[in-house]
Chains A and B, each alone.
Chain A
Amino acid sequence: MKRLPFVVAALGVWGCSPQSSQKQTGDTSKTTPATASGDVGSSVALTGAGATFPAPLYSKWFNEYAAKTGVKINYQSVGSGAGIQQISEQTVDFGASDAPMTDAEMAKAKGGPIMHIPTVVGLVVIAYNLPSVTQPIKLSGSLIADIFLGKITKWNDPRLATLNPGVKLPATDILVVHRSDGSGTTYIFSDYLSAVSPAWKAGPGKGKDLQWPVGMGGKGNEGVAGQIKQTPNAIGYTELAYAQQNKLSTAAVQNSAGQFVTPSARAATAAADDAAAKLPANTDYRVSIVNGGGAATYPITSFTWLLVYKHQPDATKAKKLADAVRWALTDGEKDAEALAYAPLPASLVTKLMPRIDSLTMAGSR
């Protein structure tokens, strides 16, 4: 069993072979002034690996950043699990994950304490396919849980009808679609359901890969979105971007203030803003922000994190990494909304800056 992480790490290395060629040609970053440490112009590129959900945004960020500063950052979207695995094995300079690392995972990291830095807010939408229904439907948390628990099986169930007066719901079976592969999206969704439904918490629980009481599985966000689109009477959950691309109808979800909120980047940022205000000063940001307070917040939201070692082994890389993250959280956030991500609220970015500074200091000690 001990061998397995090596296998995974080896796969990761093999999967990123373009990186080596970029390392050889990546001398452009010599033009940026090197720091005081003697490590001038050696391996200049930074490598990262992890979550697939923020990958489109990260690759846009790192492209822009390379064009601006000449610092090349290679990001492999291999999945949150593999990202945690690789940062723990120190085969990459930073990891990325949609679910915070557990204490057990943190303890296994070879390079000491790992810092979680939120980058953007992701939101999970409830998408459905009801050809005969034109107005958006409304759902409450307990109703969503009962649908995914298989307790509500027909679209014209009285509880659904009560929430949606005036909507002509068909008398057909509800066909539930969920993720078949382990995923951060599932983690966020089940985190939310566990928060709003005791039955869900006691049953399937919270995780990247669940034992689903009903439904069928699709591989990846694109798989779930495709299955919903192809299957009349289906309901499922995906990231916002995939629902938009596939032009799926999405439900307005009732938040803890009792309001029905349609999913949008703004409503997700509001949730993060509300959560950030309540965080204690010494937080490590491994926090769940589902089902937060505030009238305008969309309840099924979560941070996605960069994972970096607090004590960086290489001062040059540490500085480059810190600079890149600072840029991403300020200028980079402006790209978020165009790609269907919710940017971090300004209040949170301000709070995160000293955290990134602490990383640099540790690196140049």
Chain B
Amino acid sequence: MTDASIVPITPAVTNTPTGVRIEGSSTGDRIYRWVTTAFALVVPILLLLIAWAVFVAGWPALHKFGLSFLTSSDWDAVNGRFGAAPAIFGTLASSLIALIIATPLAIGVAVFLSEFAPAWIRQPIAFLVDLLAAIPSVVYGLWGVFFLVPFLTSTIVPFIKDTLHLGDFPLFSGPAYGYSMLAAGLILAIMVLPYISAVTREVLLAVPRSQREAALALGATRWEMIWDAVLPYARSGIIGGIILGLGRALGETMAVTMVIGNRHEISASLFAPGYTMASMIANEFSEATNDLHVSALMAVGAVLFVVTIIVNIIARWLVWRVGKNQV
């Protein structure tokens, strides 16, 4: 998590001078310019090459199944029928659950750290929250297997089903596998929290002091100052942070595979096992021997690619719109 990655999507904190290019005249400057241009080109070219390779490899399956590849729940390697709907649904659903849980928490942490925390506690807490981002995902997965899943089956599920009697409600119906969409969403929530919180914290710290003082001078309470003056000012940056978290959640593979239950089925129940695109590829690729199966997995990769791009476009658009309304 570096601050550099925040800057481009948070106009509120950008302070790069624009429109000024200093033309160098010496040879060194020219070489320097060409070298950096080459570096800058390598990344988009690499991206295009990866996209091209994935699409070419996935084409036979996409061509054969057409639109039903996106809508069918049939994933039958024995008879060569492939439809990725459960995995697409699972990827979006688990990420959504993660954001619903992580966003309020992360913003709460960030507000506390930037507005309330005394200096001596701010650094340690910020450090610990950031540290969450440094834990390898397989460790999250292990924690999920040995703590979260047993906790869900032994405590949370009986509470919802037996104490609250919500067992017939579709969201909580069916046999209680601890390995479930809910477990995946919870793990992802913890994993994306540091991203959202770190970005939000930096953005909040960048809100000018005058903004806060003006609100207080108008007689606002501390709460009103934060809610009405600070958070709206930082809105586009916060959305940027959420999108960064979403990107992380969409692509997460290992931890999700370990707790989601890996089942090709769309279920309304949070307690039912599900699947995500990334975990499906990781699970099946090593033993996929027939060409169509491999191609179907590559096609899933291509779909994941497209979904990620769409999410990013929506994010840019949101940030742009929010930024525009602000002025």
Contacts and interface: CB of A to CB of B under 8 A. Distances in A.
A231 B179 CA distance: 9
A204 B287 CA distance: 18
Nearest to A211: B76
B153 A231 contact: yes
Contacts of A211: 74-78, 264
Contact of A230 (B150, B279, B293): B150
Contacts of B257: 180, 219
A209 B280 CA distance: 12
A109 B269 CA distance: 46
A8 B320 CA distance: 42
A188 to B, nearest CB: 13
A332 interface: no
B286 A182 contact: yes
Judged by DSSP, the binding face of A is: loop
A105 B258 CA distance: 32
B178 interface: yes
A80 interface: yes
B289 A208 contact: yes
A59 B179 CA distance: 33
Interface in A212-232: 212, 215-219, 223, 226-227, 230-232
A311 interface: no
Contacts of A79: 286-287
Contacts of A227: 145, 179
Interface residues of A, number: 38
Interface in A177-226: 180-183, 204-212, 215-219, 223, 226
Contact of A217 (B76, B261, B291): B261
* Residue in B56, B153, B289, B291 whose Cβ sees the most chain A Cβ within 10 Å: B289
A217 to B, nearest CB: 3
Nearest to B287: A182
A94 to B, nearest CB: 18
B149 interface: yes
A68 interface: no
A183 B264 contact: no
A181 B279 CA distance: 10
Interface residues of B, number: 39
A81 interface: yes
Contact of B57 (A1, A80, A209, A230): A1
Interface string B280-311: 00111011110101110000000000000000
Contacts of B74: 211
Contact of B284 (A4, A85, A209, A215): A209
A82 interface: yes
Contact of A181 (B145, B286, B289, B291): B286
Interface string A15-53: 000000000000000000000000000000000000000
A79 B18 CA distance: 55
A200 B295 CA distance: 27
B263 interface: yes
Given A4-B294, A216-B179, A181 B149 contact: no
A231 B177 contact: yes
B114 interface: no
B286 A1 contact: no
B176 to A, nearest CB: 8
Contact of A216 (B146, B261, B287, B294): B261
B75 A4 contact: no
B149 A230 contact: yes
B163 to A, nearest CB: 18
Q: Select the residue from B78, B284, B295 with max chain A CB neighbours within 10 A.
A: B78
A357 interface: no
Contact of A223 (B56, B258, B289): B258
Given A215-B263, A217-B261, A217-B283, A182 B288 contact: yes
A219 B57 CA distance: 25
A175 interface: yes
Contacts of A219: 257-258, 262, 282-283
25 contacts: A1-B295, A4-B57, A4-B295, A79-B286, A80-B287, A82-B286, A180-B284, A181-B286, A182-B284, A182-B286, A182-B287, A208-B287, A211-B75, A211-B77, A212-B264, A215-B263, A216-B177, A216-B263, A217-B263, A219-B258, A226-B145, A227-B179, A230-B149, A230-B178, A231-B149
